[in-house]
Amino acid sequence: MAWSRLLIDITPLRNAPAFRRLWIGSALSSFGSQMTSFTVALQVYTLTHSSLAVGGVGIAVAVPAVLFGLVGGAIADSMDRRRLALVACAMQTAVSAMLALQAIGGFGSLWLLYLLVAAGSTISAVSGPVRRTFLPRLLEPGQVAPGAALNMLAMHASLTAGPLAAGAVVAIWGVKAAYLMDLITFLGAFYGLFRLPPMPPEGAIKRPSLHAIREGLTFIRRSRVVAGAFLADINATLLGMPFALFPAINAAHFGGRSQTLGLLTAAPAIGGVIGSMLSGPVGRVTRPGRAILVAGAVWGASLACFGLTTYLWLAVAMLIVAGAADVVSVIMRTAVVQLATPDNYRGRVSAAEFVVGTGVPQLGNFRAGAVASLLSPVASAVIGGSTVIAGAAAVALAIPEFRRTTSPAAPSPELTEGASPATPAS
Instruction: Provide mean pLDDT across the span 23-48.
Output: 89
Mean of per-residue pLDDT scores for the chain: 86
Residue 123: what residue type? Answer: I
| CA distance linking residue 43 with residue 361, whole number of Å | 25
Kindly compute the dihedral angle of the four CA atoms of residues 360, 363, 368, 369, in this order, to the nearest 10 degrees. Answer: 150
- What pLDDT shows up at residue 54? 77
- What pLDDT shows up at residue 344? 86
Domains 10-197 and 216-407 share a fold: yes
Instruction: Say whether pLDDT at 7 is over 50.
Output: yes
The pTM of the full predicted model, rounded to 2 decimals, is 0.79
Instruction: Provide mean pLDDT across the span 330-341.
Output: 89
Residue partners of 74: CB distance under 8 A and separation at least 6: 206, 208, 209, 212, 213, 216, 347, 348, 351
Phi, psi torsion values for 257, nearest 5 degrees: -75, 145
Percent over 70 (pLDDT), the chain: 93
- What pLDDT shows up at residue 278? 85
User: According to DSSP H, which parts of 49-143 are helical?
Assistant: 51-76, 81-105, 110-132, 135-138
Q: For the chain, what are the domain ranges? A: 10-197, 216-407
- What pLDDT shows up at residue 420? 37
| CA distance linking residue 100 with residue 102, whole number of Å | 6
The pLDDT-based confidence of 26 (bands split at 50, 70, 90) is very high
Exposure pattern of 261-298 as b/e (b: 16+ CB <10 Å)?
bebbebbbbbbbbbbbbbbbebbebeebbbbbbbbbbb
The pLDDT-based confidence of 112 (bands split at 50, 70, 90) is very high
Which range has the worst mean pLDDT, 25-34, 66-75, 255-264, 409-418?
409-418
Q: Which CATH number does 10-197 carry?
A: 1.20.1250.20
Greater pLDDT, 77 or 160: 77
The pLDDT-based confidence of 2 (bands split at 50, 70, 90) is low
Percent over 90 (pLDDT), the chain: 42
- What pLDDT shows up at residue 261? 78
Top mean pLDDT of 15-19, 257-261, 346-350 is at 15-19
- What pLDDT shows up at residue 422? 35
- The fold for domain 216-407 equals Growth Hormone; Chain: A; (1.20.1250)
Which range has the worst mean pLDDT, 214-218, 361-365, 411-415?
411-415
